Structure 1
């Protein structure tokens, strides 16, 4: 085993952890199994409690294995315990689909808790958080560890109680929103979170990489951010080629000279005049919404509202909205009522949120593909845990076609052939529109199918659970049903609440296995090879037979967007298939370019947010001193001692101290919100400013953001002194209303979706350059 691990590490990328020490611990745990089995439940709980005073990972594994056997009906495999130990060592455990990550993670969370640490197990949605907390609940109880869960509908008291538990399951977004709300409390008792200790991240690649730079936002003083309908109407009338052109990657669109003249004629303005730059920007945003954002691809319309679709998951991205006026432009395009944007009171990225935890670890089926990013941004290593049974899935080479039409015909033929043999098929498509187009083709071919996309994602777990039934055809967008196993023959009978899902699959398992198992078909390469691997991983669970194949074409969006200059002259067979190695290289090249673009976007966003994070920490430190101590009172006593003495004489020391605290907290929060607005505006215009000075935009941003941040605390104190001086007092107390301390009557939360086209100023700049080039 040890030699195999060393050989594996030699061929893997840097950043992988050595499993040999973990295997030794697991072997030692095995020698204790018979002794632990003889313990009563009470003795087992007492033995687990004793681990709080002793660092004995082998004993933890032995006790955890026995507790799982008794409460869940599952005896963890050795490799699951290896995964547990990897998590307890602060690594990301890469474990294939169906290898028992949920149980391995629960044992690790219990291990941390028994060491006296508070653990947050972060998932991607409410469903998984609640399911796993309830499923693993009996295991935690036997080990003497308390567990709770938080969901979007949880009330503040419910959240506070859940976070008091040793282990808390919650969506990462809800933890972030709770942190933002806690940062605005005026009474320490109102906070729901405790100090961060351990973050155990489920689907770590999705959370730590795909969504790392997604800002979680707390907003107040809600207002309507509406785009003028006339711009949407105008963009709709413009003609491609004549009035506008798109770049090769379809990430930008700009007016042609003829288009600029048409806009000027329609609006009666000179787009090149400085006073009409806002109009040019509004037209550009409307044009981007009209041309580059597509319904049922980038978003859907549900219940009269625009719902964004997550690029990495193919599902509705709950609570997310586009920044920079793009959300309002899409709403205007769809003739929908504008949604409120509100004033941003505070925000935090997922990466910054996770970075608060002294201990970070995670688990996923595809970590090595992003090992570099996990090391670069989180200092995490990957522990590649081998499967309990060897994977026998047959991963076929890509089938490349000259045209998208030829590819779709071949896909339907492949599905029909597998279906005729009673073999279940799971098809991963790129977007909602493609999934529905393929479903229509299958219907015309007389093939029954189930479609899973952003329009019915609430049914995801139930649909995916049946994807292994004999002859089933499931068409899904992107990554289907993460967290839900696909068992050959279909889902088993329901298990009793609090117990593990039954292992025995439906009665058709043997027939499905004989037919070759689940066949996974990709209708095109995704923008990341990691997403390809995630789709492949749906087949071949725990040594089951299965297969996968990707159908690609030289007309795929990936190729035309990221390798537009690569032209293949290879001949195609009568059915359109292309076997030329050079043509296949083009598809792989396009995917590598796309991965590079995404990585650079991540790095660039991190550079901007790093400074903001440093400034936020300084403000929060000041706020904490004011909230929990007497700093506010001391600041006012030092700044205006005579006024402080007058108020104290009139209303008493405690009342004045409380008033000072409320005033300073309010001004700190007010100044921070205004500072965030300033930084957002600064970043929006920084490219245009830096262009004229020949400077790096980031350097230019820092040159203005740094002094603004340094003056923030001083400004907050000045405003606090003004408000404190204006207070009126009597024997009845301090009149805070006279100080104008009006906080938002309600706050709300959302996530800001990455702007896929760059900031407003970048788009306006590209448009200006294109128009000027056209006029020469």
Structure 2
């Protein structure tokens, strides 16, 4: 008997079916326009773009323009690339424009799909960002799809690391900008460290299409982007502590693999304390529980985590003497990424590498909060439905499963579970040999570099030729993936998430052509392509006859999505294929999440050596375990986001204030208000309201006025006059301060004074914000202990963070007022010294923020000119390029005032 839900679905369709159905009329309109747009000249397609822009400027909505814009874009792609978008690709584009995640299987042409909503949204002139997971894909897609946008009269830019500033500015000014999530986030932070609007690169957050959206918004959501500067060197302490950890016994610590957490037991603390005292790390008579021991306890905990939670060749590799992290989801090296809070240094000590100094955070943001800045966000991936709840709750994104252009012909086998890892690997080697002998290409998925290399050794011993793709071979990634579909090919890959290169049956024609041309540069490229295409057609048919690509997974991942991504590599565009998972009770997921019951079942069945249990119930049981892990990870990310939201609200306030300051021509009123509040606070402090004159601390007020306002005034005499109250004192101090600042403005000149006010305000905000970030980090690390006192750590964090923010704003007003009160015109020698100090300070900050700029040759230099000697520069205009060749305006470089 069918359930009510099943009957309802049969009659009304699923919610997904209804969304698909709602796009059909729009697709019919686009298709109806196709012949009209095919009849247009190349110039007429560009004219259409200009017409659409004018209509949007006139108030027409993007939704009203969608059918015509999509029809124009389809024709542009057909002419530029020879690709005519399928109806399902148009459907994906519609869902993206609506602010959804389009789940589209591998090989369905997501790269082309992104051009449709990007083109439509770029018509508003506010820019569109297309986000990819690595620099190779950003550059490849920008070059490839840039031809489509070019045919439609639009500009395309690409952003990449270490890019010259002028080039980066041009890339962000383009109609459509391709970039990685990392670069976008870092550029947002860098922009909010700049001191003038002209230096900023990003021009707002209008619309973004995120490719491999699950990888970026889910897998990397917990990783904050941090721009940091070096702090004090503690390498000897890390090395001292590292020598202690191997002496710990099992009873000294408690390891929880489910939550990836490790803590010392009471016995462990006692053992460690004695050991630290013996080795001279902890002073005699000082306990680990003393406040003075906080730093040592922190370092010891990080040392324990480095040894027990982080495994070489799984979580990181050592390359050229550096510890390089590996992305657990994609298997790629994350060069330049470092673990925070001293954990990376602890791993460096463990591996005997040079210990880099810890860093102080200058600016930070999480991907969760960065991508929520966009007015409209959308994404594409092959696997998102399992995380639909998280996408909806955190980002407000719906997930729509877009049907494939052709039905999926892949056969997905039930999981095979073996008792031991040895039996499993023997079965894997046998299955690979069988597939290889009949010419079926095999893609073997592993979860770590260590396991991929162990399996590689096993296959080598068995005489099976193969390729290995992991973080060690990442430079050859595209080539190895392109070859994975060749007849009889065997490829071992670590975490095949979001590789961006299709595995085509028979191999990749373009790569074969490039190889052939490189081998014989004299030959005619056209002839080579024709010959290879003919050979490829035969190879493709042979691979199809052998059963298509065989995806063999050696383990289940914690996340069903990663398994689905691997499985989705086979069966693209209706191709035949097969997928199978080979598991053992010794696998991490099986071992940690309840393999005891399964082991009892296997023992009851009396399984023989080398036999496997294969049943749909086993699949369901494993998926339930995975769903549990996913749910726990979601809860962790949700809780982290709640904490980060507190900082994010404050970040937005500070960044908005900086923008307002940079946009303002005249800040004198804001400065005056700040000064007024400082004077109010000083008078309140030393002459509290509703108190008698004999209770006033006029001596203290007199000293404070000299220190904070740089004015020697007869405050004590004023207070002694009859009938004078606190309001009179405030009024006199306000008047005296205004007169003093007016005199300074006259000395410097109004324009210079306005610039000085702006620079002091920005520099003080930046300094205070850096200190505040550090304070919040410390607060975050200790607030969890409040739970033992039955107080909610999140509420405690919110309340204290708010109070700290208020205190920061108070001290900001005080510091700005004090600095402005103490400035005076400098003589030439002082100016020269200050310029040099500021240039060095700015260079250090920009080096930390990775915004190096190319030097430009000054072609208009006068005779005797030396760009390194300011004395030979004459009198450059404030808006002229700086003679030093930095590429900046003089006023933003050597002409900058303190």
Could you tell me the TM-score, scaled by structure 2's length? Answer: 0.78
CA contact (8 A) 2:330 2:498 kept: no
1:582–1:80 Cα change, 3 Å: closer
Alignment of structure 1 residues 411-490 onto 2, 5 Å: 411-479=428-496, 482-490=499-507
Mapped to 1, the partners of 2:96 and 2:116 lie a distance apart of 9
Which residue in the other structure is 1:773 paired with?
Answer: none
CA contact (8 A) 2:420 2:584 kept: yes
1:601 maps onto 2:610 in alignment: no
Q: CA deviation at 1:480?
A: 5.0
Q: CA deviation at 1:21?
A: 3.1
Mapped to 1, the partners of 2:615 and 2:383 lie a distance apart of 29
1:229 maps onto 2:239 in alignment: yes
3-state SS of the aligned residue for 1:393?
Answer: strand
Mapped to 1, the partners of 2:11 and 2:17 lie a distance apart of 7
Greater shift in the superposed pair: 110-119 or 592-601: 110-119
CA contact (8 A) 1:393 1:548 kept: yes
Which residue in the other structure is 2:820 paired with?
Answer: 724
Which residue in the other structure is 2:162 paired with?
Answer: 153
Q: Deviations over 1:568-620 (max 9, x none)?
A: 30223331423477765553333122112210111011000111111111112
- Correspondent of 1:298 among 315, 332, 340: 315
1:712 maps onto 2:831 in alignment: no
Mapped to 1, the partners of 2:11 and 2:782 lie a distance apart of 47
Q: CA deviation at 1:247?
A: 2.6
1:480–1:418 Cα change, 3 Å: farther
- Correspondent of 1:657 among 743, 750, 754: 754
Which residue in the other structure is 1:645 paired with?
Answer: 742
1:35–1:254 Cα change, 3 Å: closer
CA contact (8 A) 1:289 1:330 kept: yes
Which residue in the other structure is 1:343 paired with?
Answer: 360
Q: Deviations over 1:33-65 (max 9, x none)?
A: 222212111112212332221533222222222
Q: Deviations over 1:231-289 (max 9, x none)?
A: 111112334x3544423537233445554454333322565542434333322221211
Q: CA deviation at 1:567?
A: 5.9
Unaligned runs of 5+ residues in structure 2 are 1-7, 518-525, 676-736, 851-898
Which residue in the other structure is 1:163 paired with?
Answer: 172
3-state SS of the aligned residue for 2:225?
Answer: strand
Q: CA deviation at 1:749?
A: 6.0
Greater shift in the superposed pair: 132-141 or 283-292: 283-292
Which residue in the other structure is 2:424 paired with?
Answer: 407
Alignment of structure 1 residues 516-595 onto 2, 5 Å: 516-563=547-594, 568-571=599-602, 572-579=607-614, 586-595=621-630
1:10–1:340 Cα change, 3 Å: farther
Mapped to 2, the partners of 1:389 and 1:103 lie a distance apart of 17
1:248–1:100 Cα change, 3 Å: closer
Which residue in the other structure is 2:205 paired with?
Answer: 196
3-state SS of the aligned residue for 1:51?
Answer: helix
Unaligned runs of 5+ residues in structure 1 are 1-5, 752-776
Which residue in the other structure is 1:745 paired with?
Answer: 844
Q: Report which of the two structures shows the higher radius of gyration computed on alpha carbons.
A: 2
Higher relative contact order (CA 8 A, sep 6+): 1
1:273–1:63 Cα change, 3 Å: closer
Q: CA deviation at 1:213?
A: 3.0
Q: CA deviation at 1:523?
A: 0.8
3-state SS of the aligned residue for 2:652?
Answer: helix
Which residue in the other structure is 1:676 paired with?
Answer: 773
Mapped to 1, the partners of 2:10 and 2:438 lie a distance apart of 37
Q: CA deviation at 1:483?
A: 1.1
Mapped to 2, the partners of 1:385 and 1:703 lie a distance apart of 45
CA contact (8 A) 1:238 1:259 kept: yes
Greater shift in the superposed pair: 101-110 or 274-283: 274-283
CA contact (8 A) 1:492 1:506 kept: no
Structure richer in helix, relative to its length: 2
CA contact (8 A) 1:663 1:720 kept: yes
Q: CA deviation at 1:698?
A: 1.0
Which residue in the other structure is 1:771 paired with?
Answer: none
Greater shift in the superposed pair: 705-714 or 176-185: 705-714
1:279–1:678 Cα change, 3 Å: same
Mapped to 1, the partners of 2:397 and 2:332 lie a distance apart of 28
Aligned residue pairs total 743
Mapped to 2, the partners of 1:69 and 1:626 lie a distance apart of 48
CA contact (8 A) 1:321 1:750 kept: no
3-state SS of the aligned residue for 2:243?
Answer: helix
Alignment of structure 1 residues 65-84 onto 2, 5 Å: 65-84=74-93
1:387 maps onto 2:400 in alignment: no
3-state SS of the aligned residue for 2:414?
Answer: coil
Mapped to 2, the partners of 1:311 and 1:30 lie a distance apart of 43
1:89–1:247 Cα change, 3 Å: closer
Mapped to 2, the partners of 1:581 and 1:203 lie a distance apart of 29
Q: CA deviation at 1:338?
A: 1.4
3-state SS of the aligned residue for 1:193?
Answer: coil
Which residue in the other structure is 2:862 paired with?
Answer: none
3-state SS of the aligned residue for 1:729?
Answer: coil
Q: CA deviation at 1:230?
A: 1.7
1:356–1:374 Cα change, 3 Å: same
- Correspondent of 1:111 among 96, 120, 126: 120
CA contact (8 A) 1:91 1:362 kept: yes
Q: CA deviation at 1:351?
A: 1.3
Mapped to 1, the partners of 2:798 and 2:815 lie a distance apart of 25
1:145–1:578 Cα change, 3 Å: same
3-state SS of the aligned residue for 2:599?
Answer: coil
Q: CA deviation at 1:220?
A: 2.9
Q: CA deviation at 1:86?
A: 1.4
1:16–1:87 Cα change, 3 Å: farther
Q: Deviations over 1:421-441 (max 9, x none)?
A: 100000110111010011111
1:221–1:292 Cα change, 3 Å: closer
Which residue in the other structure is 2:296 paired with?
Answer: 279
Which residue in the other structure is 1:184 paired with?
Answer: 193
CA contact (8 A) 2:388 2:399 kept: yes
3-state SS of the aligned residue for 2:562?
Answer: helix
Could you tell me the TM-score, scaled by structure 1's length? Answer: 0.90
Mapped to 2, the partners of 1:562 and 1:702 lie a distance apart of 35
Q: CA deviation at 1:343?
A: 1.9
Mapped to 1, the partners of 2:632 and 2:45 lie a distance apart of 52
Mapped to 1, the partners of 2:741 and 2:824 lie a distance apart of 11
1:217 maps onto 2:226 in alignment: yes
Mapped to 2, the partners of 1:617 and 1:734 lie a distance apart of 37
CA contact (8 A) 1:298 1:308 kept: yes
State the superposition RMSD in angstroms: 2.9
Which residue in the other structure is 2:153 paired with?
Answer: 144
CA contact (8 A) 2:191 2:200 kept: yes
Q: Deviations over 1:443-478 (max 9, x none)?
A: 111101110011111211111011000111100101
